[in-house]
Amino acid sequence: QKPGLELAVVSVPSYACQRHTPLLHHNITLTDALSILAENAELGENEGRGVAFRRAAALLKSLPQEVRGAEQLRGLPCLGEHSLRVIKEVLEDGVSHEVETTTHSEQFKAMKALTGIFGVGAKTADRWFKEGIHTPSDLQRSGHTLNRAQRAGLQYYDELNLPVTKSEAVAIGQIVERAVHAVLPGAEITLIGGFRRGKQTGHDVDFLITHPDEGREEGLMPKVVSWLEAQGFLLYQKTTGNSYLESKEGPARPASNMDRFERCFSIFRLSTDNEGREIQTGNGPRSWRAVRVDLVVSPYSQFPFALLGWTGSKLFERELRRWAVHEKAMTLSSHALYDRKRTLYLRASSEEEIFAHLGLEYIPPCDRNA
Ligand code: DGT
Ligand code: MG
């Protein structure tokens, strides 16, 4: 028996939310290749294709050992024809021709650079690319009218594309805590997103804010933002009160809840004095850097759903919702879990209870890195 042949015998469940997916895994070369193809599909607004590559990559991330040969993949779920072809190529030749062509393509490079500007999505980037704009500098020179987010995104481009470290996330957390407690003592602040899953760096820092007395959290965001602005901590902010309405997910909520889920997309001005680090800019060095920060406020009764929904990974979230609908006839969102057969909302006071309602083994945040 070849080493590792037992992989194929172990049965691996097909939904990522049924599996433990640690941050560090054994198949980086393969998942990197598939992630590039996923990214390319997403940039080309081919969502279905993107998800197929992401699912294949997530399956490989959950395997207990390195895949050395294609025969080890027999019987495993989530591996479509295209993904299998790419995996086999990488296993045999060390690289995939399609991945190489993609990473070297002008279009992929330009789309990545342009969508790397805060406030720029795939549609806008594609329009600019077709006009011959390939880089942030091209955009700057083009004289295009940009919105406030895009202007900030361009201004802080280099810094916002620098990974945010865990210690920077902690420092931001202390500022957010001061702000929140100044305007609402007793409010609770939780670090969510990738850092809650144990990542050491991130593209932004995400926080969820709530208060044990339901209702006290209403109208909190504008007050927090005013405090942060007055103290000079914000370079940019946009607060939305109805992000839930705009999203397609989830059951319809009672009208009274509509504007309760507040979200703030911001750019913080974080001092780098503590680390003795200087940021190099076009105008010389300075002792602060720009950091993307997302703040979300949730009513206490929805907190476990918000916590689960904002911890990620994005694919893990997608798989949870898919599992809920297709296997349980339930609708899961960051606000609630609805049982469509019994036509009622299921309450939960912890993430564990939501997994239990869904008939899933509890997966801790550190194993949601699908
Ligand atoms: P990164 O890139 O290091 O920041 O990685 P993450 O996993 O922190 O990704 P991020 O910050 O884009 O999002 C964190 C999680 O929050 C993500 O897994 C799904 C969730 N999320 C992000 N945007 C939305 C949204 O608009 N609505 C809802 N319901 N969830 C969202
Ligand atoms: Mg994040």
Using a 6 Å cutoff on CB, does residue 313 contact ligand 1? yes
73 token code pair: 């993949």
Q: How far is the CA of 194 from the centre of ligand 2 (A)?
A: 5
The closest-lying atom of ligand 1 relative to the alpha carbon of residue 334 is 29
Across 215-227, b (16+ Cβ under 10 Å) vs e yields ebbeebbeebbeb
Cβ atoms of 221 and 295 within 8 Å: the answer is: yes
Spatial distance between the Cα atoms of 279 and 185, rounded to a whole number of angstroms: 35
- Which pLDDT does position 16 carry in this prediction? 98
The closest alpha carbon to 257, from 218, 211, 221, 310, belongs to 218
Active site residue 206: yes
Q: Is the alpha carbon torsion for 18, 19, 23, 28 positive or negative?
A: negative
| One-letter identity of residue 180 | V
Catalytic site includes residue 213: no
Does residue 321 have its Cβ closer than 6 Å to ligand 1? Answer: no
Joined together, the tokens standing for residue 78 give 């989530």
pTM equals 0.93
d(CA 59, CA 21) in angstroms, rounded, equals: 9
Q: Give the atom of ligand 1 at the shortest distance from the alpha carbon of 310.
A: 16
Does residue 305's CB lie within 6 angstroms of at least one atom of ligand 1? no
317 ligand 1 Cβ < 6 A: yes
CA 10 – ligand 1 centroid, Å: 32
334 Cβ closer than 6 Å to some ligand 1 atom: yes
What does the buried/exposed string (b/e) look like for 137-147 if buried means 16 or more CB atoms within 10 Å of the residue's CB? ebbeeeeeebe
Beta bridge partners of 208: 190, 296
Query: Strands of 330-332's sheet, edge to edge?
Result: 330-332, 337-339, 344-345
Please give the pLDDT value at position 291: 98
Structural domains of the chain, ranges and CATH numbers in brackets: 6-102 (1.10.150.110), 109-155 (1.10.150.20), 164-302 (3.30.460.10), 307-367 (3.30.210.10)
Task: Please give the structure tokens belonging to residue 274.
Answer: 């503590």
Burial of 185 (0-12, 13-18, 19+ CB in 10 A): exposed
Q: How close is the Cα of 202 to the center of ligand 2, in Å?
A: 6
Complex ipTM tops 0.90 = yes
163 touches ligand 1 (CB under 6 Å): no
Residue nearest to atom 7 of ligand 1 (CA): 194
**What is d(CA 191, CA 205) in angstroms, rounded to the nearest whole number?**
8
Whole-angstrom distance, CA of residue 167 vs CA of residue 111: 30
Closest C-alpha to ligand 1, atom 31: 310
Q: 309 C-alpha to center of ligand 2: Å?
A: 12
Give the alpha-carbon dihedral of 34, 36, 37, 41, to 10 degrees. Answer: 140
pLDDT in tens, 190-212: 999 999 999 999 999 999 999 99
| pLDDT for res 169 | 98
Cβ pair 117, 153 in contact under 8 A: yes
pLDDT, position 231: 98
Question: Residue 285: beta bridge partners?
Answer: 280
- Catalytic annotation on 126? no
Within 8 A by CB and 6+ apart from 265, the residues are: 149, 237, 238, 240, 292, 294
Return per-residue pLDDT of the chain as tens, 370 residues: 455 555 554 689 999 999 999 999 999 999 999 999 999 999 999 999 999 999 999 999 999 999 999 999 999 999 999 999 999 999 999 999 999 999 999 999 999 999 999 999 999 999 999 999 999 999 999 999 999 999 999 999 999 999 999 999 999 999 999 999 999 999 999 999 999 999 999 999 999 999 999 999 999 999 999 999 999 999 999 998 855 544 444 444 444 334 457 899 999 999 988 777 888 887 788 899 999 999 999 999 999 999 999 999 999 999 999 999 999 999 999 999 999 999 999 999 999 999 999 999 999 999 999 9
- Report the distance separating Cα 175 and Cα 233, nearest Å: 8
365 Cβ below 6 A of ligand 1 = no
Ligand 1 near 21 CB (within 6 A): no
Give distance in angstroms: CA of 131 to centre of ligand 1: 31
State the ligand closest to the CA atom of 312. Answer: 1
pLDDT at 7: 55
Q: Which of 317, 367, 368 to mutate to test the pocket of ligand 1 (most atoms within 8 A of CB)?
A: 317
Which residues are CB-neighbours of 316 under 8 A, at least 6 positions away?
16, 17, 21, 58, 363, 368, 369, 370
Nearest-atom index, ligand 1, CA of 312: 18
Q: DSSP string spanning 228-265? A: HHHTT-EEEEEEES-HHHHS--SPPPPGGGTTT-EEEE
From the candidates 158, 294, 339, 367, give the one annotated as an active-site residue.
Answer: 294
